[in-house]
Amino acid sequence: MPDTPPFPRPLRLGTRSSPLAIAQVELVKAALLDAHGWAEDAVEIVPVTASGDKILDRPLADIGGKALWTKELDAWLLSGEIDAAVHSMKDVETIRPDDFIIAAMLPRADVRDSLVGAPSIDAIPHGGIFGTSSPRRSAQIRRLRPDLSITLFRGNVATRLGKLEAGVAHATLLAAAGLERLRQPEIGTPVPIDVMLPAPAQGAVGMETLRNNAIVRDLLAGIDDSATSDCVRAERAVLKALGGTCHSPIAALAQIDGGQIMIEAEILSPDGKEHVHEAQRIGRGDEEAAHAIGQKLLSQASPSLRALFEG
């Protein structure tokens, strides 16, 4: 028998209004309806245009960082306008206000970056232009192809593809998970993880609610994928130890391996010339061990690289 919704109104899910964000919140809605046996009208999607989607001509780090993806949804959660916010986990600040809690995550999609505009990184024309706004992708590309120049690429998937089509750059990288969710996976060629380690939490969709809202926390827990949650929380623990900003090139990936987690992480100088990498096996839920990996990366870095994470 279907569960009775706990509210006299629909459960309200807040989300950014980009096509990708809408595709992701639809996945969350479908998962909730399926898990709880609710009718279609038991969940309402409430979109907002985030500040980060409005300002596209400057790097994210120059205009407020990842908070630009979350601050409107944060305000709506606090005011009760929405019951939960749906996020791309890689866009969520490492340290969140105490009022909020990441209550659940969907099963993770493809974690890889997908190259668009060329069949491989080696195939990008010598001396070509690479479009990205990500310090991580920029540093990794510079490490692999120091002959390439970098130009700023911000905006949603359609905007970046339009810039590529207009010849602003020869190639760019997009998250493979995003292309899958937009049903456009054929646009790009996934880059192997051993070539480019992804951003922490890439490919994961999370649901955040008020810490004291036990009813909504329980509802969201019903769709939580524990493997994704354990891995993403480990990656975010590495990120927290590094204390990096949006200017800091950081990559990390945790994967379930037997009953444990295998985690890889790296930090790079912006020009890609310095690269510090660490890989360890840790226990599931052992965020302290993951935090120590971030600290170890810093201890192995040069003073100039370490300074990127200490400011």
User: Which of the residues are catalytic?
Assistant: 91
Residue bearing tokens 């992708």: 137
**Cβ(33)–Cβ(42) under 8 Å?**
yes
Q: What is the 3-state secondary structure (H, E, C) of 124-176?
A: CCCCCEEECCCHHHHHHHHHHCCCCEEECCCCCHHHHHHHHHCCCCCEEEEEH
Nearest to 106 by CA among 236, 209, 201: 201
Between CA 238 and CA 235 the distance in angstroms is 5
Alpha-carbon span 236 to 89, nearest angstrom: 9
Q: How many CB atoms are closer than 10 A to CB 35? A: 15
Q: Measuring CA to CA, which residue among 242, 255, 249 is closest to residue 291?
A: 242
- Beta carbons of 143 and 183 less than 8 angstroms apart: no
CB atoms within 10 A of CB 221: 12
Residue type, 131: G
Give the DSSP per-residue string, 220-232: HHTT--HHHHHHH
256-265 burial, b if ≥16 CB within 10 A, otherwise e? eeeeebbbbb
| Cα–Cα distance measured from residue 223 to residue 239, given in angstroms and rounded to the nearest whole number | 25
Distance CA 224, CA 207 (A): 9
